[in-house]
């Protein structure tokens, strides 16, 4: 565009004054505290939602040098852009303003009859008043899955109320998109992930603009733990990008045949890392080429199982669980989604005593997990099947890698201590205050043992309900206004448009109700739970930082001399003891088919030994011990078990000087002998 030169200075002055008047009338509203209260924007869109919080957000560290603040470890800011763009109605923000952002999908007019996803997953007819801004008669609501719950000003209220870390999981599902009748874009999962990542950065710029320029806003996307820690110390919100999608990198399976390669996985991980993604799920909802999933329950479970069949050609398959852990019971409730199945095809029935997915972590899944470790990323385990989680934890434990996250209560609770022992982070789903408190108290001893904080995973804009109202007549209801958890701010009811939200009567209708929900937790369960939540930011960043600093240990056994009590004879291949220390997991040592067998490794010199990893073949040791010696004659037991179950075992013990390490099998787990693909010996 070519500009005309100014003809007279007086004309320019008049025009400038006129523009200033127009801007004052129509433009953003200046803050009354502009320039002094750093947390208040110098210009906010007008009209917009109120925040309902006064007072300065807490900054800095505590007396121990730790950051403070709540962690929402599982949220989906931009899932309105997923599933074809019309499943979740409304936007996180809009340059055109709140009225454009918070409006319903066109097919929901005039009465919500075509809110199909709501009644597929919840029953009923889905009818509701579609009007959003400014009345919000029927939405957002704690029990609606199809309306925007993450409007940016509501996220701002959560931040002002004490939240300091937000994990924004980029999410979609290509099959749900393809079968849902309303869409306005491609169903390709990675295309949606890329768009959502871009919009996260756009939101950061949108908030920055309100505060005077790049880097000045409270919404800060962070790429490493040091950057995140600095943001939290400033009192702002550190936003971590994650991924939760069903077929990452195109890694779906069709009739149990993988549709991706190791090259696809490497390219996909590299692309996600370049986008800023630092944590992710390897599988979600559907079994894929990487791992089996934990099942969904009820009508939603039936709908997801139908989607899996349409996408992969296979329904979920179950078997009897072999340990205390189990996957969720499969939903077998009737669902209108069954009408999408080919004629004559039915969702199978399932044995109530067989609740474990037959599918675990695949070889490609193991490659992806190790690829994430190589890139210092954090691995989310909640949606993995019992088999898959068990193998992942074994791999992480064998490498002493702390980057494991359970973000919203889907991991089997029997494994909580394994996550803490690795240095991982645990959050609970945003249950109602009474249920949340009960579960928090149940796991309190473990947090105290490991000195860690707690988190919550809200899953807003995800496929799940949120805390229902406890009622205005509850004896311990929230009373407004109240002090924030740190005591520095005053929080009153939130008003958006002409609707005022009250947690007692509206429940957790959207993300802006997090401070009210935390106060409800305090009223129900006391201050201890809230204290653990305030320690969440330090613990989450501790897990992230430890992952970044992790160095792979040196395997002292690789290439070392090895001897054994016996070796199985085979005319076609060798099972000699050296096969267990050759660095090749495709080879193995195998003993004769009897008990009291051993494999001995000469490390070549005496040094400290602290950890031994055993990668068993199907013929494993049920009872065995790890023995150490400095001379190869006098042995001491460093570690033993009588409950081995095969797979990948890690024996950790106090550092002990040794030159020789012996795996001594006492009782076999099968009728075969003892067989090890690889033995690793480490000093750290």
- The per-residue pLDDT for range 322-376, each reduced to its tens digit, is 888 989 888 777 777 788 888 889 888 898 889 999 999 999 999 999 999 999 9
As separate numbers, helices (DSSP H) first and strands (DSSP E) second, the chain gives 18, 27
Model pLDDT for residues 61-114, shown as the tens digit of each residue: 999 999 999 999 999 999 999 999 999 999 999 999 999 999 999 999 999 988
pLDDT tier for residue 465 given thresholds of 50, 70 and 90: confident
123: region left, alpha or beta (phi > 0 left; psi from -120 to 50 alpha): left
Write down the pLDDT at residue 34.
38
Cα dihedral 82/87/93/98 (nearest 10): 170
Model pLDDT for residues 213-237, shown as the tens digit of each residue: 999 999 999 999 999 999 999 999 9
Residue 305 DSSP SS3: helix
Write down the pLDDT at residue 3.
34
Region of poorest pLDDT, from 14-18, 207-211, 666-670: 14-18
d(CA 289, CA 247): 8
Identify the sign of the CA torsion 514, 520, 524, 526: positive
Half-sphere exposure of residue 596: CA atoms within 13 angstroms, side-chain side: 0
The set of residues, in sequence order, having a beta carbon less than 8 Å from that of 666 and lying 6+ positions away, is 595, 596, 621, 623, 624, 625
Bridge partners of residue 639, in order along the sequence: 626
Pairwise pLDDT comparison (368 vs 180), residue with the higher score: 368
Bridge partners of residue 602, in order along the sequence: 561, 660
Model pLDDT for residues 141-177, shown as the tens digit of each residue: 999 889 999 999 999 999 999 999 999 999 999 988 8
Decide if 565 contacts 598 (C-beta within 8 A).
Answer: yes
Decide if 162 contacts 485 (C-beta within 8 A).
Answer: yes
The contacts found for 478-483 with CB under 8 angstroms, 24 or more apart, are 478/502, 478/503, 478/504, 478/516, 478/519, 478/520, 478/523, 482/519
d(CA 343, CA 346): 9
Tell me: pLDDT of 120 over 90: no
pLDDT tier for residue 29 given thresholds of 50, 70 and 90: very low
Decide if 589 contacts 564 (C-beta within 8 A).
Answer: yes
d(CA 47, CA 45): 6
d(CA 146, CA 115): 8
Write down the pLDDT at residue 11.
41
Tell me the two tokens of residue 256. Answer: 């149990």
The set of residues, in sequence order, having a beta carbon less than 8 Å from that of 239 and lying 6+ positions away, is 166, 167, 168, 200, 204, 219, 220, 221, 222
d(CA 417, CA 28): 50
The set of residues, in sequence order, having a beta carbon less than 8 Å from that of 171 and lying 6+ positions away, is 76, 79, 82, 196, 243, 244, 245, 284, 462
Q: State how far the alpha carbon of 222 is from the alpha carbons of 177, 193, 200, 684, in Å.
A: 30, 18, 11, 30
Write down the pLDDT at residue 440.
97
Q: What angle do CA 121, 125, 131 make, to 5 degrees?
A: 100
d(CA 680, CA 351): 40
Number of CB atoms found within 10 A of residue 625's CB: 19
Write down the pLDDT at residue 297.
84
Model pLDDT for residues 33-64, shown as the tens digit of each residue: 334 799 999 999 999 999 999 999 999 999 99
Write down the pLDDT at residue 246.
92
Write down the pLDDT at residue 212.
95
Tell me: pLDDT of 657 over 50: yes
Decide if 182 contacts 107 (C-beta within 8 A).
Answer: yes
Mean pLDDT, range 8-36, rounded to an integer: 39
Residue 617 DSSP SS3: coil
d(CA 429, CA 424): 17
Tell me: pLDDT of 9 over 50: no
Question: Of all helices (H) and strands (E), which one includes residue 277?
Answer: strand 277-281
Tell me: pLDDT of 14 over 50: no
**pLDDT above 90 coverage of the chain, percent:** 82
Write down the pLDDT at residue 21.
36
d(CA 217, CA 41): 8
Mean pLDDT, range 430-440, rounded to an integer: 97
pLDDT tier for residue 117 given thresholds of 50, 70 and 90: confident
Residue of 602, 604, 603, 599 lying closest to 576 (CA atoms): 599
Region of poorest pLDDT, from 400-414, 429-443, 537-551, 594-608: 400-414
pTM (predicted TM-score):
0.90
Tell me: pLDDT of 12 over 60: no
Q: What angle do CA 490, 491, 492 make, to 5 degrees?
A: 120
Pairing mode, if any, of strands 318-319 and 356-357? Answer: antiparallel
Tell me the two tokens of residue 355. Answer: 């609740």
Write down the pLDDT at residue 410.
83
d(CA 108, CA 242): 30
Model pLDDT for residues 260-290, shown as the tens digit of each residue: 999 999 999 999 999 999 999 999 999 999 9
Bridge partners of residue 319, in order along the sequence: 356
Place of tokens 């090749």: 584
pLDDT tier for residue 30 given thresholds of 50, 70 and 90: very low
Tell me the two tokens of residue 573. Answer: 């291949």
pLDDT tier for residue 8 given thresholds of 50, 70 and 90: very low
Q: What angle do CA 406, 412, 417 make, to 5 degrees?
A: 70
Q: What are phi and psi of 135, to 5 degrees?
A: -85, -40
Write down the pLDDT at residue 329.
83
Mean pLDDT (the chain) is: 92
Write down the pLDDT at residue 338.
81
């Amino acid at each position: 565009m070519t500009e005309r030169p100014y003809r007279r200075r007086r004309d320019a002055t008049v025009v400038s004054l006129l523009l200033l008047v127009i801007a004052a009338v129509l433009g953003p509203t200046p803050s009354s505290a502009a320039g002094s209260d750093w947390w208040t924007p110098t210009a906010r869109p007008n009209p917009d939602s109120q925040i309902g919080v006064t007072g300065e957000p807490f900054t800095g560290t505590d007396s121990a040098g730790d950051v403070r603040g709540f962690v929402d470890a599982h949220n989906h800011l931009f899932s309105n852009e997923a599933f074809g763009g019309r499943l979740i109605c409304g936007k996180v923000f809009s340059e055109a303003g709140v009225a454009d952002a918070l409006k319903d999908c066109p097919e929901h007019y005039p009465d919500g009859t075509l809110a199909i996803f709501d009644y597929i997953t919840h029953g009923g007819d889905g009818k509701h008043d579609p009007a959003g801004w400014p009345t919000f008669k029927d939405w957002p609501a704690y029990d609606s899955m199809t309306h925007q719950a993450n409007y940016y000003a509501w996220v701002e209220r959560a931040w002002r109320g004490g939240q300091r870390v937000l994990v924004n999981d980029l999410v979609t599902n290509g099959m749900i998109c393809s079968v849902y009748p309303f869409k306005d874009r491609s169903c390709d999962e990675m295309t949606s992930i890329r768009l959502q990542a871009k919009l996260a950065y756009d939101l950061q710029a949108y908030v920055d603009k309100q505060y005077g320029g790049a880097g000045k806003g409270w919404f800060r996307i962070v790429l490493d733990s040091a950057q995140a820690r600095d943001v939290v110390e400033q009192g702002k919100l550190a936003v971590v990008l994650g991924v939760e999608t069903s077929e990452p990198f195109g890694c779906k399976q069709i009739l149990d045949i993988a549709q991706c390669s190791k090259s696809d996985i490497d390219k996909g991980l590299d692309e996600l890392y370049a986008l800023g993604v630092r944590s992710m799920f390897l599988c979600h909802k559907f079994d894929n080429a990487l791992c089996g999933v934990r099942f969904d329950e009820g009508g939603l479970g039936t709908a997801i199982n139908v989607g899996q069949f349409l996408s992969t050609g296979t329904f979920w398959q179950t078997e009897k669980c072999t340990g205390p852990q189990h996957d969720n019971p499969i939903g077998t409730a009737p669902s209108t989604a069954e009408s999408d199945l080919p004629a004559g095809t039915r969702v199978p029935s399932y044995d109530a005593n067989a609740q474990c997915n037959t599918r675990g972590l695949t070889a490609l899944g193991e490659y992806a997990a190790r690829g994430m470790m190589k890139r210092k990323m954090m691995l989310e385990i909640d949606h993995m099947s019992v088999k898959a989680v068990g193998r992942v934890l074994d791999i992480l434990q064998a490498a002493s890698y702390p980057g494991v996250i359970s973000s919203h209560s889907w991991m089997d609770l029997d494994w909580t201590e394994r996550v803490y022992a690795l240095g991982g982070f645990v959050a609970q789903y945003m249950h109602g205050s009474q249920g949340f408190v009960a579960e928090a108290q149940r796991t309190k001893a473990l947090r105290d043992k490991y000195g860690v904080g707690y988190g919550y995973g809200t899953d807003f804009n995800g496929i799940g309900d949120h805390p229902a109202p406890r009622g205005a007549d509850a004896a311990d209801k929230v009373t407004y206004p109240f002090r924030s958890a740190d005591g520095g701010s005053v929080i009153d009811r939130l008003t958006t448009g002409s609707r005022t939200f009250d947690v007692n009567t509206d429940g957790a209708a959207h993300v802006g109700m997090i401070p009210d929900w935390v106060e409800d937790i305090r009223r129900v369960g006391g201050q201890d739970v809230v204290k653990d939540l305030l320690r969440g930011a330090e613990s989450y960043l501790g897990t992230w930082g430890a992952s970044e600093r992790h160095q792979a240990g040196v395997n002292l056994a690789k290439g070392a001399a090895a001897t054994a009590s016996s070796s199985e004879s085979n005319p076609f291949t060798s099972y000699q003891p050296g096969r267990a220390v050759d660095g090749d997991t495709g080879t193995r040592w195998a003993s004769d088919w009897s008990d009291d067998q051993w494999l001995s490794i000469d490390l070549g010199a005496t040094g400290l030994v602290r950890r031994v990893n055993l990668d068993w073949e199907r013929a494993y040791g049920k009872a065995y011990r790890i023995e150490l010696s400095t001379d190869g004659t006098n042995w001491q037991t460093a570690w033993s078990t009588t409950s081995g179950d095969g797979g990948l075992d890690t024996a950790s013990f106090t550092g002990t000087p040794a030159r020789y390490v012996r795996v001594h099998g006492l009782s076999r787990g099968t009728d075969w002998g003892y067989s090890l693909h690889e033995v690793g010996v480490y000093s750290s």
